[in-house]
Amino acid sequence: MNLSLERSLPPDDPERWVLHNEVHARPSARVRLPALITYVAVLNAGISRDQEGEHLRRLAGQAALGREQLQGNFLRLRCEGFTVKWERHTEFSRYSIVQPLPAHALWGAELPDLTVHVATGTDWLRQVPGQTVAAIQLTMLAQGMGEPDLLDKAQQWMGEGMLVASHMGNTVEGESHSCLLTHFRIGEDGFERMLVVTSPRTSEARAGRISQRVLELETYRLMALRGLPVAKQLSPELAAAESQLAAITARLEAKQDSDQELLDDLVALAARIERATAEHGYRFSATRAYDAVVRERIGELRERPVYGTQTVGEFMQRRMGPAMATVAATAQRLSALSDRITRTSALLRTRVDIATETQNQQLLEKLTRGQALQLRLQSTVEGLSIAAISYYVVSLLLYAAKGLEAAGVPIQPEMAVGLVVPLVLWSVWQATRRIHARIYRATD
């Protein structure tokens, strides 16, 4: 059967392959039990991809690592006896070192030292570029699930601290496939300890998925909580701004200050709130996003309680709930304050507009009175003009009559001119009206 390789589809969208392959961007590792996973998440603000690549090249056998291999956001390096997974995210980068569990740290050990046995060496860990936000030592064992002294052995393995434990997932038989135990405490070496005990039937792929969910859960929990210090720091500033806005509104109502003074104070307050929004808006949005991921990861664990302990989900939500509520309330408070400033500005603009309209009305009335006065003055001047023109016309006629009398025409100049004065006045008045009519027609 011959298969034609000729394309039978319209041209691809430029983003088609990128979007399609996003689902494969960060595949889960295959973890062979028993295993130790040393996990470090660091803030990468100011850290370039090249700096992280340079650090990865310091691993044994990775000196030839090319820049093109770091163009994505995910890379798994296979070294002798262990693997290193690198992931770069918007705010942080993650390094996961997967290696066989040292013999001294097997089930039943008492607070085993794990840090000095990290396959990359502690110097390489210490020089990871960035600031640590999460550091976890996750041990995974394929034994201990059904032991009655599970909690006692886990407490002995992890040291002091109240245990939090959950059975996770369901097998075909309806049983949990693993159990997560931790105390959410940072040890003297800077690492949290987590222990996962699984069924001996657990596959390497499932172990990889379990480790990924557990590590992501703790990472996103810590990233979500980064909004809490910001909210606490911003709270006094918001309280002061709210008091100042109330004072400005009271002054606006009492009309005790000029509009310019009120406007200056309101603009300064609005600038402060907009600066706070610009500086912290992203942090609050990121907190909401991280919190949503935490809730999603908790749901994916499909927890069931271990008798005598809190589940991981209960522990996290009881402690994260108030923190997330504080962050959400602060973000809402900031947004509401901005809206209130906008409404107060609208009130002030309305008052200024009304005052401006009143001034314009008064000015218009003055102009109207001036125009009326000017019209009356113009009428008076026109009346005087008619009289003056008529006077000159009558004078000319008188000179003409006297000339006729001197020429021998029997006429009395004064009487003759006196008789035509009304006619002259009427003629001048009519001529003036015709001139006005032409002017009005020209301006229409």
Q: What is the pLDDT of residues 394-418, one digit of tens each?
A: 788 777 877 877 777 787 877 877 7
pLDDT tens across 432-442, in order?
A: 778 777 776 77
Q: Which residues of 254-273 are buried (b: 16+ CB within 10 A; e: fewer)?
A: eeeeeeeebbebbeebbebb
User: What strands lie across the sheet with 35-43, from one edge to the other?
Assistant: 74-79, 82-88, 92-100, 35-43, 131-141, 192-198, 178-186, 164-168, 303-305
Of 186, 341, 187, nearest in space to 276 by CA: 341
What pLDDT sits at residue 2? 47
Q: What mean pLDDT is reported for the chain?
A: 85
The Cα 444–Cα 434 span in angstroms is 16
The Cα 437–Cα 341 span in angstroms is 58
* Strand (E) or helix (H) holding 2: none
Q: What is the DSSP string of 206-232?
A: HHHHHHHHHHHHHHHHHHHHTHHHHHH
Q: List the chain domain ranges.
A: 25-224, 227-361, 373-443
The Cα 136–Cα 194 span in angstroms is 7
At residue 35, φ and ψ (nearest 5 deg) are -140, 155
Q: How far is CA 269 from the centre of its chain?
A: 20
What pLDDT sits at residue 286? 92
The Cα 287–Cα 328 span in angstroms is 9
- The mean pLDDT values, 10 residues at a time, for the chain of 444 residues are 62 77 69 93 92 92 84 87 92 94 88 91 93 94 82 87 86 75 90 91 89 92 93 92 88 78 86 90 92 90 87 86 92 90 82 74 78 71 73 79 78 78 80 75 67
Per-state percent for the chain, helix, strand, coil, to nearest 5: 60, 15, 25
